[in-house]
Structure 1
Amino acid sequence: MITNFEICTPKLSELPQIVEIFNQAIQNKFSTGFQSLQTVESMNEWFREHTQEKYPLLIAKQDNTVLGWVEIKPYRKNRKAFDQSVEISYFIHNNFQKQGIGSALVREMEILAEGIGYKKIIAILMHLNIGSIKLLEGRNYTLCGNITNVGSVQNTSIHHLYYAKDLLSLQKTNE
């Protein structure tokens, strides 16, 4: 188990490692819904859209190696009624999964999101993403919905699971 990693805001120079981790998730088939690999160029704008004040992006790294990353982004973008909620996504390098890195990243992002003023954090994932289901349930997320047959990957029907967590509950557990 890796224990000596830091969680911080990434530099633009770390974007290639972030893209590599995302592409691993794409190749795993049941993590993203993307069907083609991304490039540093294609994710450059995405990277720049993340501001620590509104929609942070964090990485876990050891020395100069990015182990994983987490982001929050608008839930139902441009629909003001949903501004108090955000969607969370996270990806861990294949070599470093199941070592507590994902949970640490999600925990840190929950704290940041609550500090920004968000009230609810939502994760949308494929039903075959067992690792994420375990991570979210271990972090006390609640399964709120299951949309069946929403897509298909390699002739396998995909369901979307909606998990959510009230960030106000963080205050109660931290007191």
Structure 2
Amino acid sequence: MKIRQAHIDDLEQIVNIYNQAIEVGQRTADTVLFTTEQRLEWFREHNEKTYPLLVATEDDEILGYLTISPYRNGRLALRKTAEVSYYIHFQHHRKGIGSFLMNRALELCSDLHLENLIAILIGSNDGSVGLLKKHGFEEWGRLPNIVDFGEEKFDHLYYGIHIK
């Protein structure tokens, strides 16, 4: 397995992985599937020097991806804080891919001049909570019952880590 910066040719596989999370539910607050074209601008906002989009690959298959994105973009006092998000293809859950990606993201923080990483997730996502805790993230905030999927409501969690 290798980790690299995503290329435009990867976008279709990345969108398919994200759409899996939407279809299953309670993994993202998005509820409508995306097309590759709809995610093009989002893709272009990520680059190796400031806000990377990393993919874990085996042969030509993308097993999962991780993004580092601005947190509260444009607010200078928060420039050393970023949001981390990650999604793993469902056929490759529980194989260490999330940890592999997270380790790389944490290694990059120094070069990116980041001092804090925040993950924002839905309270029912036990797998993500476990991954974050494993890597030293702590719960920094909880917004109770604001994620509304119609029949069910969930907490919105903020997990964070201070990078040393």
Alpha-carbon distance in structure 2 between the residues aligned to 1:98 and 1:154: 29
Q: Work out the number of aligned pairs and report it.
A: 164
Tell me the amino acid that sits aligned with residue 29 of structure 1: G
Q: Find 2:125's aligned residue among 125, 129, 134.
A: 129
CA-CA distance at 1:63 after TM superposition: 0.1
Structure-1 residue corresponding to 2:56 = 60
CA-CA distance at 1:109 after TM superposition: 0.8
Structure-1 residue corresponding to 2:106 = 110
Alpha-carbon distance in structure 2 between the residues aligned to 1:82 and 1:140: 21
Paired residue secondary structure (1:116): coil
Alpha-carbon distance in structure 2 between the residues aligned to 1:16 and 1:97: 19
Structure-1 residue corresponding to 2:67 = 71
TM-score calculated relative to the size of structure 2: 0.97
Alpha-carbon distance in structure 1 between the residues aligned to 2:46 and 2:147: 28
Alpha-carbon distance in structure 1 between the residues aligned to 2:13 and 2:89: 9
Structure-1 residue corresponding to 2:10 = 14
Tell me the amino acid that sits aligned with residue 3 of structure 2: I
Structure with higher helix content = 1
Cα RMSD between the aligned structures?
Answer: 0.8
TM-score calculated relative to the size of structure 1: 0.91
Q: Report percent identity of matched pairs.
A: 37
CA-CA distance at 1:151 after TM superposition: 2.2
Give deviations 1:44-74, integer Å, cap 9, x for gaps: 1111110111100100000000000000111
Query: Which aligned runs of 4 or more in structure 1 are off by greater than 3 angstroms?
Result: none
